[in-house]
Amino acid sequence: MHRLAGILLALAVASVLALAALIVGAWREEQALDRTRDRVRRELASLLGAVAAGEAGSTPAELGGTAARMEEAAHRVREEYREEALPALAAVLASAAPPARKEAALRLLAAVPGAEAAWHLEGVAGSPDAGLRRLALRLIARERGGDGPGRWGPFLLDEFRSRPAVEDRLALLSALGAHPAPGVVEVLTGVLGSDPDAGLRRAAARALAEAAPGHPAAVATLREALSGDPGPGVRQAAASALGLAGGPELVPFLRHCLARETDASVRGALQRAIASLGE
């Protein structure tokens, strides 16, 4: 009996020691994680300060230096800090920091991989701050993979339907081209066919080439814009889009438009479209 009691006591002591070791190990890991977060916050603060200070400059040398610093900072965020950068960047965006610092933080946020970063970027794209909102949309438009694109299409469509400002809609059209969703062709063809703003019609033509290459409704609307839109910039964008989204069967139509077109920029786009389609 005494021997059994001794064995049980030894097992209990071993269990307590093992549990204590686990607790100490977890505490040490948490301390190391806290130190890592503090280091990331300090280093990001330094990077953001350097980038934001450069963005306030106006000479080519200052702007070039800013671009280089941003490239370096984005590389470190993407390759070294990764998700560890999110709390620090989100804190800057939620603070009363100067606009240049917030914009730098947003650009770095776009470099963080993962679904949580995409969620943060989407949140800024729907924010009331017009400058940050439009920058977020431009950053979304550049994304071509990862965790954001599958979720952004419906969000972008909803934003487009609810944002009347031309600058917002321009940024949203570019993003919709990169991240199409069900219903996007109807929205883009509607803008290209009837919107009174030539800049929006031009952006819709470009977005159609990316979002719906070969789609019959897209091609038909682009043809109508090329042959009848009063804006040379819109006709140029439509010609370029048909060169990207159409097929060889469009070449006779493009040649017909070329014979009638008088604007040099549109003629150049038509010639490039004809060449790209095989003739």
What is the residue-wise DSSP string for 189-212? HHHHHH-S-HHHHHHHHHHHHHH-
Q: Is residue 77 part of a domain?
A: no
Q: Is residue 85 part of a domain?
A: no
Measured CA to CA, the distance from residue 53 to residue 63 in angstroms comes to 10
Which of 182, 215, 245 terminates a domain? The answer is: 182
Measured CA to CA, the distance from residue 151 to residue 118 in angstroms comes to 9
Which of 148, 182, 216 terminates a domain? The answer is: 182
- Residue type for 180, please? P
Q: Is residue 156 part of a domain?
A: yes
pLDDT digits (tens, 9 = 90+) for 205-246: 999 999 888 899 999 999 999 999 999 999 999 999 999 988
Measured CA to CA, the distance from residue 210 to residue 153 in angstroms comes to 13
pLDDT grade for 9, boundaries at 50, 70 and 90: low
Residues 221, 249: one domain?
yes
- Residue type for 109, please? L
The residue range of the domain holding 148 is 92-182
Residues 197, 270: one domain?
yes
Residues 230, 276: one domain?
yes
Measured CA to CA, the distance from residue 168 to residue 182 in angstroms comes to 21
Selection from 203, 185, 258 nearest residue 226 by Cα: 258
Q: Is residue 35 part of a domain?
A: no
Residues 274, 244: one domain?
yes
Which of 114, 148, 182 terminates a domain? The answer is: 182
Residues 165, 239: one domain?
no
Looking at residue 194, what is its pLDDT?
A: 94
pLDDT surpasses 70 at 146: no
Looking at residue 243, what is its pLDDT?
A: 92
Domain count, the chain: 2
Residues 147, 206: one domain?
no
Burial class (CB in 10 A: 0-12, 13-18, 19+), 97: middle
Q: Is residue 20 part of a domain?
A: no
Measured CA to CA, the distance from residue 238 to residue 223 in angstroms comes to 7
Q: What is the CATH number of the domain that holds 278?
A: 1.25.10
Tokens standing for residue 148: 């954001």
Q: Please report the sign of the dihedral spanned by the C-alpha atoms of residue 110, residue 112, residue 117, residue 120.
A: negative
